[in-house]
A and B are shown apart, each in its own frame.
Chain A
Amino acid sequence: MTRPLLDVRHLRKVYDDHGRIVEAIGDLSFSCAAGELVAIVGPSGAGKTTLLKCVAGLLDPSAGEVALDDVRVDGPPPAMAVVFQEYGRSLFPWLTVHDNVALPLRQRKAARDHVRGRVNAALAEVGLADAAGAYPWQLSGGMQQRVAIARAIAYEPKLLLMDEPFAAVDAQTRADLEDLTRSLWRRHAVTLLFVTHDIDEAVYMAQRVLILSSSPTRVIENLAIDLPAERDQLATRSSPRFAELRARVYAQIQRARQPGAAGPGAGGPS
């Protein structure tokens, strides 16, 4: 078995919310191999976003640790990019689309032509080659999220985290963005970990689905999605295997919503 790229060991996160102790994450362990596409689902309030922020290094865990490429995560690691749900707030409104995508690259002091080439390539991949000179607020929600994705892609991270990235767009746009994300994932061989509350989306997109319990959060099940690698919105979603997998995830989450339901803390690729 190859060394995992991302290793989360006994992660625990406790908040102090005005004197009330909130155990957002109880004891969470899982790992992702390089190049995998893993989805995380769970009931609302299951601390999914907290988990993602801990993995991203934006929050310090109360116990346990996160390791990226065998290096302990203490603050956002350089080989990682994040796509947030609130696309409107994650893009700089005073920069054009081009400058938004270029910003993280300019940090690395690469040559200007090199940066421009990478930016144009990324924008072309997400279908926004024409919008390079526009401002984010001139674009629709779906397009803004695509800019955020282009920015992450141009950065060429090893690990790409997405926090409910398509929750705030309409269903049609969501379907397009799901397919776009999958094709980008395959083309760039990046490890993709994304959080969603949409069960259908998780099963449609991922190779593995991690099902979380409600607070205190643990991994209830690590479900392998054995759908074909070529996925299609119509065909895949109407296949019987899709329905089975979806039903299983749904059932697990329903059980997880019962108080006191906590599955085994197991993780690891099956």
Chain B
Amino acid sequence: MSRPAPRRASPASRAGLGALGLVGAAAVFELIPRIGLVSPRYLPPTTAMLAALGREATGAAFWRALLDTIHGWALGLAIAVALGLVLGVAIGSVRGLRVATASTIEFLRPIPSVALIPVAVLLYGAQLRSTLLLVVYASFWPILLQVIQGVGDVDPVARDTALAYRFTPWATIRYLVLPTALSYILTGLRLSAAVALILAITAELMIGTPGLGKEIGVAMASSAVPAMYALILAVGLIGVAVNVGFRALERRMLAWHTSVRLEAAR
């Protein structure tokens, strides 16, 4: 059978299909406990989860915990990104450094951040610094690697062109290195942001530092099952917001700098 010319589904219809999927998933999770496939004590129906979420949202404790999580996430991310940028630019610009550090990075990177949980507990207890230790360690690597790659990935033809036109060092950085590295940096930022959130929640859950993760643990310990699910859902929604937000940022910034490059070309 011949394939007809592919028609791109309109954004509206894609959104509609997506909404259908969400509703379908919600319906499935509504039915499973109701028909007794799983006991509603362990898996509350969707409506019960949403109701619990509503209840949480009206309480101050939820928002305090949310703020704590965001605080740990943002601070840890900022530190990791700063370190990653500085070290990444330094290592990426000097070929010798890149080669020398490659093996160390390869060795340290697979060390799971969770290995630091006991260390954090011993050193800092259930405080913000425990969260920061985990978050910074884990989200440092994605941004570092992306920056190293971005700084080293300048198109040789473009570099030759810049030389031929006798670009000043500043112009070279501004029109050559930065735009190339920028897309890598933004990708690294997005990856690190996602990892940072995961580790922040993990630290709160496993160590008990203040935040949504800790609330999840508390709900589990006190068998407040719908509340536990509601909090997990809330964490998921925050994660989606972070992902969507950083992807939009990426798109916006890259569109901007493409126009800058066009100007430079003129």
- Indicate whether A and B are direct neighbours in the complex (CB within 8 Å): yes
CB-CB contacts below 8 Å: B63-80 with A: none
Query: With an 8 A cutoff between CB atoms, is B1 at the interface?
Result: yes
Contact, CB under 8 Å: B5 / A57? no
- Cβ contacts under 8 Å, A59 to chain B: 2, 4-5
Query: With an 8 A cutoff between CB atoms, is B3 at the interface?
Result: yes
Q: Shortest beta-carbon distance, A65 to chain B, in Å?
A: 12
Query: With an 8 A cutoff between CB atoms, is A58 at the interface?
Result: yes
- Cβ contacts under 8 Å, A58 to chain B: 2-3
**A233–B1 CA distance with the chains assembled, in angstroms:** 41
Query: With an 8 A cutoff between CB atoms, is A156 at the interface?
Result: no
B1-20 CB contact bits vs A (8 Å, 1 = yes)? 11111010000000000000
> Most chain-A CB neighbours within 10 Å: which of B4, B5, B7?
B5
Q: What range describes how many residues of B lie at the interface?
A: under 10
A-B contacts, CB under 8 A, total: 16
Q: Shortest beta-carbon distance, B2 to chain A, in Å?
A: 4
Contact, CB under 8 Å: B2 / A75? yes
Contact, CB under 8 Å: B5 / A74? no
CB-CB contacts below 8 Å: B1-45 with A: 1-5, 7
A32-64 CB contact bits vs B (8 Å, 1 = yes)? 000000000000000000000000011110000
**A16–B4 CA distance with the chains assembled, in angstroms:** 12
Q: Shortest beta-carbon distance, A17 to chain B, in Å?
A: 10
**A33–B220 CA distance with the chains assembled, in angstroms:** 79
- Across the two chains, which residue of chain B brings its CB closest to A14? B5
- Across the two chains, which residue of chain B brings its CB closest to A17? B5
- Across the two chains, which residue of chain B brings its CB closest to A57? B2
Of B1, B5, B7, which contacts A75 at CB under 8 A?
A: B1
- Across the two chains, which residue of chain B brings its CB closest to A74? B2
Q: Shortest beta-carbon distance, A54 to chain B, in Å?
A: 9
**A58–B1 CA distance with the chains assembled, in angstroms:** 9
- Cβ contacts under 8 Å, A75 to chain B: 1-2
B148-191 CB contact bits vs A (8 Å, 1 = yes)? 00000000000000000000000000000000000000000000
- Across the two chains, which residue of chain B brings its CB closest to A18? B8
**A107–B3 CA distance with the chains assembled, in angstroms:** 21
- Across the two chains, which residue of chain B brings its CB closest to A58? B2
**A59–B2 CA distance with the chains assembled, in angstroms:** 6
- Cβ contacts under 8 Å, B5 to chain A: 15, 59-60
- Cβ contacts under 8 Å, B4 to chain A: 59-60
Contact, CB under 8 Å: B3 / A74? no
- Cβ contacts under 8 Å, A60 to chain B: 2-5
- Cβ contacts under 8 Å, B7 to chain A: 16
- Cβ contacts under 8 Å, A57 to chain B: 2
- Cβ contacts under 8 Å, A15 to chain B: 5
**A16–B3 CA distance with the chains assembled, in angstroms:** 15
CB-CB contacts below 8 Å: A1-45 with B: 15-16
- Cβ contacts under 8 Å, A16 to chain B: 7
- Cβ contacts under 8 Å, B2 to chain A: 57-60, 74-75
CB-CB contacts below 8 Å: A51-101 with B: 57-60, 74-75
- Cβ contacts under 8 Å, B3 to chain A: 58, 60
Q: Shortest beta-carbon distance, B158 to chain A, in Å?
A: 23
**A74–B1 CA distance with the chains assembled, in angstroms:** 6
**A1–B53 CA distance with the chains assembled, in angstroms:** 81
**A15–B2 CA distance with the chains assembled, in angstroms:** 15
Q: Shortest beta-carbon distance, A59 to chain B, in Å?
A: 6
**A60–B3 CA distance with the chains assembled, in angstroms:** 7
> Most chain-A CB neighbours within 10 Å: which of B1, B2, B3, B4?
B2
- Across the two chains, which residue of chain B brings its CB closest to A56? B2
- Across the two chains, which residue of chain A brings its CB closest to B8? A18
Q: Shortest beta-carbon distance, B45 to chain A, in Å?
A: 44
Q: Shortest beta-carbon distance, B8 to chain A, in Å?
A: 9
**A24–B126 CA distance with the chains assembled, in angstroms:** 69
Q: Shortest beta-carbon distance, A75 to chain B, in Å?
A: 5
Q: Shortest beta-carbon distance, B6 to chain A, in Å?
A: 11
- Across the two chains, which residue of chain A brings its CB closest to B4? A60
**A86–B87 CA distance with the chains assembled, in angstroms:** 43
Contact residues of B with A, CB < 8 Å?
Answer: 1-5, 7
Among all A-B residue pairs, the 8 with the closest Cβ atoms? A60-B2, A75-B2, A75-B1, A60-B4, A57-B2, A74-B2, A59-B2, A15-B5
Contact residues of A with B, CB < 8 Å?
Answer: 15-16, 57-60, 74-75
Would you mind naming 16 contact pairs between A and B with Cβ atoms under 8 Å apart?
Answer: A15-B5, A16-B7, A57-B2, A58-B2, A58-B3, A59-B2, A59-B4, A59-B5, A60-B2, A60-B3, A60-B4, A60-B5, A74-B1, A74-B2, A75-B1, A75-B2
Given known contacts A59-B5, A60-B4, what 12 new A-B pairs fall within 8 Å (CB)? A15-B5, A16-B7, A57-B2, A58-B2, A58-B3, A59-B2, A59-B4, A60-B5, A74-B1, A74-B2, A75-B1, A75-B2
